[in-house]
Chain A
Amino acid sequence: MDRKLRRLLGKIAVLIALVVGALFAGLPVLWMLSSSFKLNTDIFAYPPQLIPPNPTLEAYTAIFTDPVKVRFFLNSYFISLSVTVLTLLVAVLAAYALSRFEFPFKRVLNVVIISVQAVPPITLLIPYFGLIMFLGLYNTYPGLILTYMVFTLPYAIIMMTGYFNTLPRELDEAVKVDGGSSWTALWRVLVPISVPGLVSVGIYTFMIAWNEYLFALTLTKTPEMRTVPIGIQLLMGQHSYEWNQMMSMSILGCIPILLLFLFFQRYFIGGMTAGAVKN
Chain B
Amino acid sequence: MSTTSLPVTGADSLGSPEPRSGKPAARLADARRALVPYGYLTPTMVLLVVLMVIPIVMVIGYSLMDNVIMKKNPQFVGFKHYIDILTSESFWTAVTNTLFFTGVSVIAHLLIGLAFAMMLNTGLIGTRTKAIFRTIYVLPWLFTVAIIAVLWRLLLEPNGVVNFLLTASHLTGTEVEWLSSPETALFAVTFINIWAGYPFYMTSLLAGLQGIPADYYEAAQVDGANAWQRFTAITIPQLKPIIISMALLDFIWTTQQFALIWMTTGGGPLGTTEMLSTFTYKLAFSKYQFGTASASAVIVLVISMVLAFFYVRAQKARD
Contacts and interface: CB of A to CB of B under 8 A. Distances in A.
A121 B256 contact: yes
A75 to B, nearest CB: 14
Given A18-B119, A43-B154, A123 B125 contact: no
Interface of B: 1-4, 6, 8, 10-16, 34, 36-41, 43-44, 47-48, 50-56, 58-59, 62, 69, 115-116, 119, 122, 124-125, 129, 131, 133-147, 150-152, 154-155, 159-161, 164, 168, 195, 199-200, 203-204, 206-207, 210-213, 215, 241-242, 245, 248-249, 252-253, 255-256, 258-259, 276-277, 280-281, 284-285, 290, 293-294, 296-298, 300-301, 303-305, 307-309, 311-313, 316
27 contacts: A21-B133, A21-B137, A29-B139, A93-B44, A98-B37, A98-B41, A102-B10, A103-B34, A106-B10, A111-B305, A114-B252, A115-B308, A118-B256, A120-B276, A127-B58, A127-B59, A146-B51, A155-B249, A196-B207, A200-B1, A204-B200, A246-B147, A247-B147, A253-B142, A262-B135, A268-B207, A274-B2
Contacts of A31: 151, 154-155, 161
Nearest to B16: A102
Nearest to A9: B124
Contacts of A126: 69, 290
A130 B59 CA distance: 12
B245 A232 contact: no
Contact of B14 (A93, A124, A182): A182
Interface residues of A, number: 116
Nearest to B10: A102
Given A94-B41, A109-B41, A127-B55, A102 B8 contact: no
Enumerate the 3 nearest inter-chain pairs by beta-carbon distance, A residue then B residue, closest first: A118-B304, A101-B37, A97-B40
Interface of A: 7, 10-11, 14-15, 17-18, 21-22, 24-26, 28-29, 31-32, 35, 43-44, 46-48, 90-91, 93-94, 96-103, 106-107, 109-124, 126-128, 130-131, 135, 146-147, 149-150, 153, 155, 157-159, 162-163, 165-169, 172-173, 176, 182, 185, 196-197, 200-201, 203-204, 207, 210-211, 213-214, 228-229, 232-233, 236, 241, 243, 246-247, 250, 253-254, 257-258, 261-262, 265, 268-271, 273-275, 278-279
Given A25-B137, A29-B139, A213 B297 contact: no
B136 to A, nearest CB: 5
Nearest to B306: A115
Contacts of A236: 146, 150
